[in-house]
Amino acid sequence: MFDAVLFDMDGLLLDSERVLMQAWTAAAAEEGITIPHEVYTAVIGRAMQESQALFTQMLGGIERHAHLRAKVVERLHARREGPVFPLKPGVVELLGALRARRVPCAVASSSGVDEIRHRLEVVGVLHHFDAVAGGNEVSRGKPDPAVYELAASRLGVSAHACIAFEDSENGARAALAAGATLVVVPDLRRPADEVMTRCLHELASLHDAREHLPRWFPDRFLLESA
């Protein structure tokens, strides 16, 4: 039924959005600044340059943004209890099941390519991906479909032939605009109902995706069973 799988990274594969939000809100609070939850989550899924521009505007200038960003980096590096951005539940099991069926997988993330590779290498799952596409490789970030189209092309398939896993509204809109079939695993903020009505499934975690693999990839499942 499908040829490949495309994954967002932050908030889907990695529990990074929550960690980053906590670091930003704490650093801002030390400076007497409040970052409302709805304001922070509105930038989730966007390319780094777009997110930085929005944060700069919200915080009142580039110098204040740079100051807070340095405090956030300091907080992140002060973590000692494992990876800065740990894997979310079900990631290893789903990637292993897809690998067993020889389903090509790619990452389509708003983060830069080097950062994607580094974060996934740290948690030991980079080898599961046949391709990576980052926000620094496209002229417009999510919700524009460019990064999804790039990821699919690197697998040698059309985005229309792919399942795309997303957690955020901006990412979900990007996957849909690329023509991929969308599966949403909400993280910090559930996408709007208008987006959710266009997705194939809403899952509580990536654990729940495994039961759908025989239907999504029936030919590959039969080949593995033969």
What residues are labeled active site?
A: 8, 10
Residue 156 CA neighbour count, 13 Å, CB half? 3
Query: Can you tell me whether residue 106 is helix, strand or coil?
Result: strand
Neighbours of 1 (CB within 10 A): 11
Tokens (6 digits) for 110: 């708003």
The answer to whether the CB of 113 falls within 8 A of the CB of 2 is no
Q: Using alpha carbons, select from 92, 90, 131, 88 the residue that is nearest to residue 109.
A: 131
The answer to whether the CB of 59 falls within 8 A of the CB of 68 is yes
> Long-range contacts of range 79-82, CB-CB < 8 Å, 24 or more positions apart?
79/19
* Residues 6+ away with beta carbon under 8 Å from 106: 4, 5, 6, 7, 129, 130, 131, 132, 133, 151, 152, 154, 155
**What share of residues in the chain are helix, strand, coil (percent, to 5)?**
55, 10, 35
